[in-house]
Amino acid sequence: MSDQSGAPAGAGALPPGNSFVAGEAAENFVQIVDVVKKFGETVAVKGVNLNVEKGELFALLGSSGCGKSTLLRMLAGLETVTSGRILIDGEDLAQMPPYRRPVNMMFQSYALFPHMTVESNIAFGLKQEGVPKAELRDRVQTVLELVQMGRFAKRKPHQLSGGQQQRVALARSLVKRPKLLLLDEPMSALDKQIRQRTQIELVNILDTVGVTCIMVTHDQEEAMTMAGRLAVMSEGEIVQLGTPHEVYEYPNSRFSAEFIGSTNLFDGNVVEDEPDHVFIETPDLPCRMYVNHGITGPLGMPVTISVRPERIALTRKPPEGAYNWGRGVITNIAYMGGYSLYHVKLDGGKTVIANVSSLAISEIETPTWGDEIYVRWSASAGVVLTS
């Protein structure tokens, strides 16, 4: 059906999500080759291959226990690999003594020294390296300004908000001028509002510095907002790799489709397969589904169609087309401000969720609980999943 990026065949000029083959391009700053990590019986990382380019902000995304932190810790040299290789700037990490590794990791809890001022916290690593005093002062000053914490230089961590502590931790990582910055759940201590603001600030800071960055998160919105590319991980493996747009619009599996955003999944069988479209029959709908991209597989093959809630429209009148619609009753409405989530229980018993903008709602006579309604979507809305 598709390559690992999940982009369907015939999707046109999409940049390939997984064209980075180990050892291929000189620009691959980080190369992770067949990396496996076992802890006794547990295989935390199962043969991961991944390349990250210089200057990229890359996110590892996945649910708890899928091996994100383990992979990051191996990149930091805090865990050894069971097998496989990690190259940074062409050099094997295993051959590099710790002090020469151009890597800095910011941990899930920032681990600032509570008795030291902001300034001393940031200067700590440089002092240990024996950086001369004048240079040390300059470098600390520069990163303090970068993270806009100059005014707080003399404060102790407990006198700062969560977001401010996070910026100090970031400054402490950046002051060492790592070539590779590793962030493990950098926002986990922040509440939602500061989180969103901090995400954008952080991207701007990393852009300014130009450092290559790999971050771990289990928050898909965070990964989508911040990263240029991301990898969805499950049980120690990379399930999908691509830009946020590619992974969201062309998930390559049920796991990816459900993990990134929410979606409606219809199970069915292929009844007609043309080069640029397929017809699928599903017990959930009174009509066939028409999806305008090709698949590879025999007729009758069981598939799942993913249709995102924002691709589903509600209408009062029966849709005119012969495909991609259903009839049902509104069983729930979640008002979200700018949009509402409508739960529509179809005649066949399946509930679909439609995300309808407030503007679109005002254009159909505002639907309410118990109303009979039609759902429909276009041929480009569905994505065929075979796994």
Residue nearest to Mg ion (CB): 69
As a whole number of angstroms, the distance between CA 96 and CA 87 comes to 10
- Cα atoms found within 13 Å of the Cα of residue 150, Cβ hemisphere only: 9
What gap in Å lies between CA 30 and CA 18, rounded to an integer? 15
CB of 133 to ligand ATP, least distance (A): 39
Tokens 């209408």 -> residue: 315
**Contact present, 166 and 198 (Cβ < 8 Å):** yes
Residue 369 interaction partner, one of Mg ion, ligand ATP, none, beta carbon < 5-8 Å per kind:
none
Contact map string, positions 62 to 91, toward Mg ion, x by CB under 5 A:
-------x----------------------
Contact residues for ligand ATP, defined by CB under 6 A: 39, 42, 44, 62, 64-70, 218
* Rounded Cα–Cα distance for residues 138 and 128 (Å): 16
Cα separations (Å) of 107 from 59, 143, 151, 234, 361?
15, 18, 24, 21, 44
The stretch near Mg ion (CB under 5 A) out of 15-23, 61-69, 221-229, 314-322 is 61-69
Which residues, in sequence order, are CB contacts of 190 under 8 Å at separation 6+?
162, 163, 166, 198
Interaction pattern, residues 16-55, with Mg ion; x per rule: CB under 5 A: ----------------------------------------
Nearest-approach distance from CB 160 to ligand ATP, in angstroms: 24
> Tokens 């547990």 map to which residue?
42
Q: Closest separation between CB of residue 233 and ligand ATP, Å?
A: 7
Residue 353 interaction partner, one of ligand ATP, Mg ion, none, beta carbon < 5-8 Å per kind: none
102 interacts with, out of ligand ATP, Mg ion, none, CB within 5 to 8 A per kind: none
Q: Are 304 and 385 in contact (CB under 8 A)?
A: yes
- Which is nearer to Mg ion, 69 or 253 (by Cβ)? 69
Considering the complex, state which of residue 39 and residue 335 has its C-beta at the smaller distance from ligand ATP. 39
Q: Among residues 319, 296, 290, 299, which one has the least CA distance to residue 381?
A: 290
Least distance (Å) between residue 74 CB and ligand ATP: 10
> Which of ligand ATP, Mg ion, none does residue 218 bind to, with CB < 5 to 8 Å depending on kind?
ligand ATP
Residues binding Mg ion (CB under 5 A): 69
